[in-house]
A = this chain, B = another copy of it.
Amino acid sequence: MPIITVKLAKGRSLQTKRKLVQALTETAVSLLDVKSEWVTVLIEEYDRENWASNGKLHSEKFGKGFGKKGAK
């Protein structure tokens, strides 16, 4: 029943996504008293030009990429 949505910068590998959904599902199962097959995980990828903090687009703050790439 829980639906977990992860909004993040575009570009993670399939391998990262595979591990991510598995780990998030295990967390939900162990803490929320739900069955594994009830858990849905959605990954929503954003271009850095569509994400801003402190009034600035991340494409301009951090350049291209994702995660700590480009960030100080």
Main secondary structure on chain A at its contact with chain B?
Answer: mixed
Do residues A50 and B17 form an inter-chain contact, with CB atoms below 8 A?
yes
Separation of A30 and B66 alpha carbons in the complex (Å): 14
User: How many identical subunits does the complex contain?
Assistant: 6
**Closest chain B CB from A46 CB (angstroms):** 7
How many chain-A residues does the 8 Å CB contact rule pick out? 56
- The 8 A CB mask of A27-42 against B (1 = contact, 0 = none) is 1101111111101111
**Closest chain B CB from A33 CB (angstroms):** 3
Do residues A8 and B18 form an inter-chain contact, with CB atoms below 8 A?
no
Give the residues in chain B near A52, CB-CB below 8 Å: 21, 25, 40-43
Give the residues in chain B near A55, CB-CB below 8 Å: 21-22, 25-26, 36, 39, 41
